[in-house]
Every structure is written in C-alpha cells, then in structure tokens.
Chains A and B, each alone.
Chain A
Amino acid sequence: MKAIRIMAAVVAFAGLCFASAALAAPKTVTVATDATWPPMEFVDANKKIVGFDIDFMNAVAKEAGFQASFKNTAWDGIFAGIAAGQYDAIISSVTITDERKAKFDFTVPYISIGQILVVPKAEKGTKIGDLKGKKIGAQIGTTGAMEIKKVAGVELKTYDEVGLAFEDMAAGRISGVVCDQPTAVTYALDKKEYSNKFKIVGQPFTKEAYGIVVKKGNKVLVDQLNKGIAAVQKKKIDQQIKKKWHLK
C-alpha cells in the first residue's frame, strides 16, 4: 500500500515537473524576412537565410527565451502578412516610420542606418537632386523609394527586389539606386560584376532606425523582444554580430 502511495506521489511529481517544463519550454516565434537585402538578410549558397538581422534575432530570441523560425517573404506584402497573422514578427531592415507605427507595433530601435545613393561610375551627380530628369530605382515600398519620391523632377522606378534595380542600372536603364548603406556597400563594392561599374556617392542622407515589427496590440511579444534586445545590447552581443557582417 505504502509502495503504491509512493509510486503515485512520484508519478504526480514527475507529471508536475513535466507540465512546468512544458510551460517553460522555448516557444517558437515565426519571423518573416525578405531575404534579398544583403548583408542584413539574404539567402546564402546553402539556401539558408543568413545576415545581421538573422543573427541578431537569434540572439534576442535566446536572451528572451524563445526560438525564432524564419520565413522568407516578399517585401511587397510583408506587412499584409503580419496583419493577417501569418507570422508573429518581421525583422527585415524595417525602418521605424510614423506611417508604419500607426499600423504596426515596433520594438525599440536595434541599429541605425542611412539611405545612400549608388550611381554608375561616369555619373557626376552626388545626390538625388542632381539627377533631375533621370530615373532612379529603389525597392517597392522602402524608405529609399519614399526619399526619391520627395524630390521633384526625378522619376522613381520601383522594383520587387533591390538586386533587380542594380541589375537594371548595370544594363543602363536607370541612373541611380537608393538603398540602405550596408546593402549599397554589398552591391556596389563587394560584388565583382558591379564594383567596376558603380560607385557610392556622398554620405548617408537619412538617419533611420530599424525595429522589429509585430502586430498592432501584441504587447506581450513586444515586451519580450525589447527585453531580449536590452540583454543583447548589454552583453555587447550586437557589436560582435555587427563585426561579423562588417557593419560600422
């Protein structure tokens, strides 16, 4: 009888442990990213999504006690997906803007970056305003596209991916591309086929902060992510990741 009682107690205890373990077990958070934006997020030769944002997100997830699983999503429509609940968060070089803040919730900024202009080597202009009457490309719905739109007299051409804009500039159809500075460096300086054709001109002309996007009102996840970001920044893990991807 006593033995049975002990056994029952052990089973109950084990069950309790199991239940609490299940509760504490790392939850998986699905994160969307448009992996066409090197070095922030892109697909490497092994078809794996890699980049600064990916490493950063994994570090944040580790600190916050969950697991991140990434979903490669086209930029055009990436915000619609979060509104529809297809994933929990977006980390995809998303600049925090007022328009976006009105529709979605952001974490605290985790890196700041600026837009920069890339032009063919022969081009003399150094800013968007110098290219009046010409076409400048950017990825659809990006802050780069919005910056071009602000300047009267230049024609904005939008592309599904920023790489296609660079390819079009290589073919001579457009006279400039505006994108985030690290991406510009990757395309204009690191890519062999482009490095002797393009140059980066001027300094980054915007100051933008990237944030992780979650659905409006998902306070639980924002708090969790902010906690993770704070821990990552405190431990200077983000500095290591920056170094790894050659970001300043």
Chain B
Amino acid sequence: MLARPGRYEKLMSIDAKKQIIDVGDGAAIPRKSDRGLFTAWRIAFFGAIGTLIYLVQTKPDPYLNILKFVPDGILVTFQVTLGAILLAIVFGLFTGLGRISKNRFFNGAASLYVEIIRGIPLLVQIFYIYYALGRFVQVPPILSAIIAMAVCYGAYMGEVVRAGIESIHKGQREAALSLGMNGRQTMIHVILPQAVKVILPPVGNEFIALLKDSSLVSIIAVADLLRRGREFASESFTYFETYTVIALIYLIITLFLSKIIGVMEERVSVNK
C-alpha cells in the first residue's frame, strides 16, 4: 500500500446517520444486498479452489510439489499479519486519540507520526527497520517485519479510529458530560464502544490489505508465502507454475477472510 493522499479524507465527511466507512483497499467485502458481487465472490473463491485442485490432480509435478513446499510460508504470512494488525490497532488507537486530543503535544506527535509514515513507502520502511535499525538494535526478522508493518498500518489505523470517533454524534458526548462524566470516562464508556462498531469494518478491510502487503516482507529473508514460492521457483525454474499457485493461495485466503468480515459486519449492523 502506498500513501494515498485523500484516502481517508473521505472518512471525515461521513454521514453520521449511516455510519458507513467506505474504504476500498482490501478485497471487496460481499454483502447480501449486493447480489452481483456475491456471485462474483463465489465464482472467484470456488474457481480458485477448483483450479488449484485441478492443477494438483492433473500435474502433480510441479504443482503438488509447490503446494507441499509452501505451507510453513503460509503460517509465517499469518503470523506477520496477525501480529502486525494487533500492534497496528494499539498504535492506531493512540494515534487516533492523539489526533483529536486538545493536548498540543499529543496532537502534534500523532500528526507528525501520521505525516511521516504515510509519506514513506512500506517497502522502504521494511528495509529501513530491518537493515538500518539492525545496526543498533537486534530484532529477530519476523518481529522486525511485524514492527515495520504495524508502524505503517498504525498510521492508517489512526485515521480510521479518528474518523470513527468523529462519526459519533456530538449529542452523545454532550449527554455524557451533562451526566457528570469527565472527558476520559466519556471517551472510554460512551464514545469508544460506539465507535468500535463503525471502526470494525474498515479494520477488517485493513487486515486484508495488510495480509496482501505482508508479501513485501519476503525481501528481508522472512520465509513467508511469497518467499517460499520464490525459493521454489528459483531452483526449479517453474516460475509460471509457482506464481500461479502462490497467487491462487493468496486469493483463496483473502476471499475467505473477506467473507468472514462481511458476516461480522452484518452482525454488527443488525444490533445497531
């Protein structure tokens, strides 16, 4: 993901009543109301699985060999993605709160962080955290990959959190304050629980985007799915076959996750 100015600017102008944040960077999330996409999702998902099975069945060499070679890479991809998203949520929460804080120091620090991180491509950040900082502090490869991804996504997540909080109607805050809550209590007990509902779908979206971007960590000798594929291809010279399998695996994973997120999103909107 590259810094895209204006990507979240949209979020600021959310219609408070609808409370829908529309950020498109992950796979399209299927909704029941969206029949066309729903069938497109089915075709893509089952098509990808079918293609993979067909290839393995008809040409075990090299397809089955590739499939046997990469599973530990899938595990690493998930480790990096999960670790990074959890850390990014923490960073994002602080950044989001900092961005709306009246405290000039917090606000300035959070804004500076967002500005700097959004201006540096993720690939460069990964290289930087791994090799440049590696000269001063020792960080294991996977952890440094997680940190690099989390630092980058934390900045974007901060904007999601900020937009989520700002989408909560002013009246909520005013009511809480008039009940005698202080600012902190209002935030923790009234605003954030409501904002979570708004934030959840874009966070799911970020998760899928992060999973895809995690393929970038293959440059720092982290043996993720893409790296395993590259290792296989560079020794067997089956580039076309290997990258076909890698692409299909990524596709199946992201489509599966987008489905789960779609279901989660519907649940959240039901009890709204």
Residues of A within 8 A of B (CB): 75-77, 79-80, 83, 99-100, 103-104, 137, 140-141, 145-146, 157-160, 164-165, 167-168, 170-173
Contact A77 B131 (CB under 8 A): no
Residues of B within 8 A of A (CB): 131, 134-135, 138, 140-141, 219, 221, 223, 227, 230-231, 233-237, 239-240
How many pairs, one residue from A and one from B, have CB atoms within 8 Å of each other in the complex?
A: 60
Indicate whether A173 sits within 8 Å of B134 (C-beta atoms), given known contacts A77-B239, A80-B239.
yes
CA distance A137 to B235 in the complex (A): 16
Q: Which of A75, A146, A164 has the most CB of B within 10 A?
A: A164
Q: Which of A76, A83, A145 has the most CB of B within 10 A?
A: A76
Which residues of A are found within 8 Å of B138, using beta-carbon distances? 171-173
Indicate whether A160 sits within 8 Å of B134 (C-beta atoms), given known contacts A83-B237, A140-B231, A173-B141.
no
Closest residue of chain B to A156 (Cβ to Cβ) is B231
Which residues of B are found within 8 Å of A170, using beta-carbon distances? 135
Which residues of A are found within 8 Å of B135, using beta-carbon distances? 170-171
Which residues of A are found within 8 Å of B236, using beta-carbon distances? 99
Contact of B221 among A77, A141, A146, A168 (CB under 8 A): A168
Indicate whether A158 sits within 8 Å of B227 (C-beta atoms), given known contacts A171-B134, A173-B138.
yes
Contact of B231 among A103, A141, A164 (CB under 8 A): A141
Which residues of A are found within 8 Å of B227, using beta-carbon distances? 158
Contact B131 A141 (CB under 8 A): no
Contact of A99 among B221, B223, B235 (CB under 8 A): B235
Which residues of B are found within 8 Å of A172, using beta-carbon distances? 138
CA distance A171 to B131 in the complex (A): 8
Contact B131 A76 (CB under 8 A): no
Indicate whether A76 sits within 8 Å of B237 (C-beta atoms), given known contacts A137-B221, A157-B221.
no
Contact of B234 among A76, A137, A168, A171 (CB under 8 A): A76
Expressed in whole angstroms, the minimum distance between the Cβ of A195 and any Cβ of chain B is 17
Which residues of B are found within 8 Å of A145, using beta-carbon distances? 231, 235
Contact A146 B235 (CB under 8 A): yes
